[in-house]
């Protein structure tokens, strides 16, 4: 039986109960993370925990655990699953209280974690790329917080799901922001481009890995505002996230992107990402064996 974590305990999902007055349920008042786990080694766990701590700070939700406690709870959850490659989801809500928008001080946050089998894009999709549609980014102005209030993202993602596409790419005021559940990169004449991190996009952990890999391997890269026409005229478009890793978008709103197949820079980055992942996993295994 695969177990979930609720408020300090591991238990079967059907025995994990949360109050109907939980502010996560009533207001979507909480934050979350999703950490990919390869062969039981979490990828970039510290970076995810740093982002979680930041989301908690920005939303004034109390963090009940130290970094060491978070790590040990995540490892215990990973070890309680029967499968190797996992997507560990965790969320904290402000806790249960009488319904009132304003929140009482010193509420006990609700901490929930579960792990599901990790589903990275199948290799056929990596080879062929996927299609995307575009939409106006009509979400709030604090998309840098990884909030569980995801109705904006949900409705935007549904547009692409109904068009059988992998993502919805978002534009605000004629500028690229991100996609409904991933960050976006483009390539123009060999130069990799992506919007800078600000309050309009989620600071993606995968985005950081791609930036580090590009810099570390001398691939030209620039973070700057990108207009809608630059995106539509790009040679390549990629989406990045913990579950999609790096995936090429070869069609946007029915129009071919560049040559209509994954480009050379994408193939290079995808390979670098896979090599880097393997290195991290090997190092992670050694760390766990010696711990």
Contact 266, 235 (CB under 8 A): no
Q: By C-beta, is 70 or 96 nearer to ligand PDD?
A: 70
182 is a site residue for ligand PDD (CB under 6 A): yes
- Across the chain, the runs of DSSP E, i.e. the strands, are 3-6, 9-12, 30-38, 41-42, 86-93, 110-117, 130-136, 167-172, 175-179, 183-188, 191-194, 221-223, 236-241, 245-252, 255-256
In the complex, least distance from residue 21 CB atom to ligand PDD, rounded to whole angstroms: 25
175: annotated active-site residue? no
206 is a site residue for ligand PDD (CB under 6 A): yes
Catalytic one among 146, 188, 197, 277?
146
Q: Based on the number of CB atoms within 10 Å of its own CB, is 132 exposed (0-12), middle (13-18) or buried (19 or more)?
A: buried
In the complex, least distance from residue 78 CB atom to ligand PDD, rounded to whole angstroms: 17
Contact 144, 197 (CB under 8 A): yes
Crossing angle for the helix pair 67-79 and 45-59, to the nearest 10 degrees: 120
Nearest to 228 by CA among 165, 274, 286, 170: 170
| Residue window 35-74: x/- pattern of binding to ligand PDD, with contact defined by CB under 6 A | ----------------------------------------
What is the size of the binding site for ligand PDD (CB under 6 A)?
15
Q: Among residues 181, 231, 262, 270, which is the contact residue for ligand PDD, using CB under 6 A?
A: 181
Q: In sequence order, what are the residues at sequence separation of 6 or more whose Cβ sits closer than 8 angstroms to the Cβ of residue 112?
A: 4, 5, 6, 7, 16, 18, 90, 91, 92, 93
135 is a site residue for ligand PDD (CB under 6 A): no
Q: By C-beta, is 31 or 96 nearer to ligand PDD?
A: 31
Stretch of 11-19, 58-66, 121-129, 200-208 contacting ligand PDD, by CB under 6 A: 200-208
136-175 binders of ligand PDD (CB under 6 A): 153
Instruction: List interacting residues with ligand PDD (CB under 6 A).
Output: 34, 153, 178, 181-183, 202, 204-207, 240-243
Known catalytic residues are 146
């Amino acid at each position: 039986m695969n177990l979930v974590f609720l408020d300090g305990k591991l238990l079967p999902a059907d025995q994990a109960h949360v109050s109907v007055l939980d502010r996560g349920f009533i207001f979507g008042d909480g934050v979350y993370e999703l950490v990919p786990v390869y062969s039981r080694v979490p990828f970039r766990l510290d970076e995810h925990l740093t982002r979680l701590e930041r989301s908690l700070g920005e939303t004034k939700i109390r963090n009940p655990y130290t970094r060491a406690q978070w790590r040990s709870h995540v490892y215990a959850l990973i070890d309680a699953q029967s499968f190797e490659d996992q997507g560990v989801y965790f969320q904290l809500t402000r806790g249960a209280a009488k319904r009132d928008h304003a929140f009482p001080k010193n509420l006990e946050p609700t901490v929930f974690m579960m792990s599901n089998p990790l589903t990275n894009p199948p290799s056929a999709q990596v080879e062929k790329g996927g299609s995307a549609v575009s939409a106006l980014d009509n979400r709030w102005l604090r998309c840098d917080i990884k909030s569980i209030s995801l109705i904006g993202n949900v409705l935007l993602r549904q547009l692409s799901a109904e068009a059988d596409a992998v993502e919805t790419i978002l534009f605000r005021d004629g500028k690229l922001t991100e996609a409904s559940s991933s960050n976006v990169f483009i390539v123009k004449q060999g130069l990799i481009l992506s919007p800078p991190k600000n309050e309009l996009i989620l600071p993606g952990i995968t985005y950081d890995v791609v930036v580090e890999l590009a810099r570390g391997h001398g691939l030209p890269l620039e973070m700057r505002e990108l207009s809608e026409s630059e995106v539509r005229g790009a040679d390549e478009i990629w989406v990045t996230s913990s579950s999609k890793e790096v995936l090429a978008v070869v069609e946007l709103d029915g129009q071919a992107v560049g040559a209509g197949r994954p480009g050379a820079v994408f193939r290079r980055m995808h390979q670098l990402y896979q090599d880097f992942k393997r290195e991290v996993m090997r190092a992670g295994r050694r760390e766990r064996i010696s711990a």
